[in-house]
């Protein structure tokens, strides 16, 4: 028991790298939807005034802070512990992320209703989002079950 220093560096770096790779999905989707050029987007992202404006925007806070915290609470802290007694931990780790991915399909309805793109483009984006949210959900479910 306790902290072992043997293998500590790989134990820190490898999960961090995997998390960064899995987070490329939302970043790629953001880059595809970005109206600015790449360098302009970098300049805006590094501007403190931009972040001050974001922190005052209630929609930004909802989308970037409240929604992810709520999703983790619902899908990891509530749903996953309820699925584990009904199925094996590995089945729960694979089932819960599917619900997590499907929960993001409401964006399709909004985009179709307001005609923001072609039907095939909207569904392609939704399938892409479902894919990376399901993979990321499986990864976080694995970490949640392994760490208690």
Nearest to 140 by CA among 110, 105, 96, 87: 96
What pLDDT score was predicted for residue 144?
85
User: Which of 6, 71, 106, 110 is labelled catalytic?
Assistant: 71
Using CA atoms, how far apart are residues 62 and 113, in angstroms rounded to an integer? 21
Whether 104 sits among the annotated catalytic residues: the reply is yes
pLDDT class for 1, splitting at 50, 70, 90? very low
Percent of the chain with pLDDT over 70: 91
In the chain, where the domains are located: 56-148
What pLDDT score was predicted for residue 50?
86
List helix spans (H) across 80-118: 80-83, 89-102, 106-113
* 47-93 per-position pLDDT tens digit: 899 889 989 999 989 988 999 899 889 988 899 999 999 999 999 99
Using CA atoms, how far apart are residues 117 and 115, in angstroms rounded to an integer? 6
b/e per residue 41-79 (b: at least 16 CB within 10 A): eeeeeeeeeeeeeeeeeeeeeeeeeeeeeebeeebbeeb
User: Which of 104, 106, 107, 110 is labelled catalytic?
Assistant: 104
What pLDDT score was predicted for residue 90?
93
In the predicted model, what is the mean pLDDT of the chain? 84
Mean pLDDT calculated for residue range 129-136: 86
């Amino acid at each position: 028991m306790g902290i072992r220093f043997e293998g500590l560096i790989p134990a820190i770096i490898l999960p961090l790298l995997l998390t960064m790779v899995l987070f490329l999905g939302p970043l790629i989707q953001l880059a595809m939807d970005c109206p600015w050029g790449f360098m302009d987007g970098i300049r805006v992202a590094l501007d403190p005034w931009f972040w001050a404006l974001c922190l005052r925007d209630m929609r930004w806070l909802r989308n970037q802070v409240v929604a992810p915290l709520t999703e983790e609470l619902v899908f990891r802290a509530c749903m996953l512990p309820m699925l584990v007694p009904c199925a094996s931990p590995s089945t729960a780790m694979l089932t819960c992320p599917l619900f997590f991915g499907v929960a993001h399909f409401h964006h399709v309805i909004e985009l179709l209703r307001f005609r923001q793109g072609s039907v095939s483009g909207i569904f392609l984006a939704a399938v892409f989002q479902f894919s990376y949210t399901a993979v990321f959900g499986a990864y976080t479910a694995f970490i949640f079950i392994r760490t208690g």
